[in-house]
Amino acid sequence: MQLGVCTSCFRNVSLPEVLRWAGESGFQAVEMECPPLAPRAAPTWYQHSALNVAALDGPARDALVSALDKVGLRAAALAWRGHLLERDPERLKVAAEHLRRMVETAATLGIETVSIFVGRDPAQTLGDSIAEFARRIEPALEQAEASGVRLAVSTSPEVGWQVEDMPGNAAFSPELWEKLFTHLRSQAIGLALSPADLAWAGIDPVAAVTDYAEKVFHVYAQDVEMLDLRRQDCSVLRPTGGWWRYRTPGLGMIDWRRFIDRLHELGYAGALVVRQEDAVWQGTLDKVKTGLALARRHLVQFLP
């Protein structure tokens, strides 16, 4: 198991600089954010800290591989927080093409995992959204199977990005994972598991990773803090009410010793990737780096 970092927290830093810092700071792997960008949206193969897969031609691929090799980093995953449950046909076409390009890029670079979202159609039930996602993901899933790439569905609820206090990602609990895997009986579809999101939603992360060991393709190292007095005010029915917040690993409620020990026991061979969304350690580049350094310092004690 390798300790990695997501590039998404580095807003205005170039991707080569992010890779350099991560390697020199002791991280071993990286998840690169890949939003849809036009080929000319960046002067080269990246835009700020994001990888521009639309501009990743032969020389650009060589430059990326060289940048990773130079600092001893493994590309653990490509990630995209878009979804295929768009109602607008043109936006759906763009989303489907971008996912196809991401899978193709991962295969070309030898990257095993692409982290994605199911998303949600707010007009549908969670079950119907999953069923529709299963229909729409089939072409990308067939492409992934043929090229040796795995699609890892995020378990973060993404509450509130479409409708206030409503989950915007229909794959946030074991019950819903069962629906997903019933529709998609493929070895190439699995989970990008977020223990912090499971914990605040009342799901035991250790039990979840144990029950779905064969389907856990990717794991995020992110902690969570409960604010009991705030919850007393707004209730658990208002998940955007501020009664929980993300923290850097070691500053929240997750028992990382127990969680990582279980990953070792289950033979998990993917990356443990720090996702930095701790508000205490955001706002400046120095704070972001300090938050990531604190996370690494806490997690490495449980890694060989």
User: Is pLDDT of 31 > 70?
Assistant: yes
Residue 154 confidence class, pLDDT cut points 50, 70, 90: very high
CA pair distance 7, 18, nearest whole angstrom: 7
- Residue-level pLDDT at 39: 59
Euclidean distance between CA atoms 268 and 256, whole angstroms: 15
What's residue 11's pLDDT?
87
* Residues 145, 186 contacting (CB under 8 angstroms): yes
pLDDT at 38 over 80: no
What CA–CA distance (Å, rounded) separates 245 from 196?
9
Sign, Cα dihedral of 70, 147, 140, 115: negative
The percentage of the chain sitting over the pLDDT mark of 70, rounded to a whole number, equals 98
Mean pLDDT of the chain: 96
Distance (Å, whole) CA 274 – CA 295: 7
Q: What is the pLDDT of residues 263-277, one digit of tens each?
A: 999 999 999 999 999
What is the dihedral angle through the alpha carbons of 280, 237, 179, 151, rounded to the nearest 10 degrees?
A: -20
Backbone angles phi, psi at 171, to 5 degrees: -150, 50
- Taking a C-beta distance cutoff of 8 angstroms, is the pair 193, 154 a contact? no
Segment 126-148, tens digit of pLDDT: 999 999 999 999 999 999 999 99
Taking the C-alpha atoms of residue 249 and residue 65, their distance in angstroms, rounded to an integer, is: 29
Confidence of residue 52 (pLDDT cuts 50, 70, 90): very high
pTM: 0.96
Q: How confident is the model at residue 9 (pLDDT cuts 50, 70, 90)?
A: very high
Mean pLDDT confidence for 44-72: 94
pLDDT at position 37 is 83
pLDDT at 41: 56
Q: Report pLDDT digits (tens) over 67-87.
A: 999 999 999 999 999 989 999
Across residues 236-252, what is the average pLDDT?
96
pLDDT of residue 44: 80
Query: What domains can you pick out in the chain, each with its CATH number?
Result: 2-302 (3.20.20.150)
Helices (H), the chain: 15-24, 58-71, 89-109, 126-147, 174-183, 195-200, 205-211, 228-234, 256-265, 285-299
Does 42 have pLDDT greater than 90?
A: no
Looking at the DSSP bridge assignments, the partners of residue 220 are: 273
Nearby residues of 124 by Cβ (< 8 Å), 6 or more positions away: 132
Q: What number is the average pLDDT over the span 94-109? A: 97
DSSP labels, 27-55? --EEEEE-----TTSSSSSEETTEE-GGG
Q: Note the pLDDT of residue 142.
A: 98
d(CA 61, CA 40): 16
pLDDT digits (tens, 9 = 90+) for 164-213: 999 999 999 999 999 999 999 999 999 999 999 999 999 999 999 999 99
Q: Which two tokens stand for residue 120?
A: 């949600």
Residue 62, pLDDT > 60, answer yes
Phi/psi of residue 192, nearest 5 degrees? -105, 95
Q: Is 3 helix (H, G, I), strand (E, B) or coil?
A: strand
User: What pLDDT score was predicted for residue 40?
Assistant: 60
Q: Which residue has the tokens 């938050």?
A: 291
Look at residues 49, 54, 52, 46 and name the one whose alpha carbon lies nearest to residue 6: 49
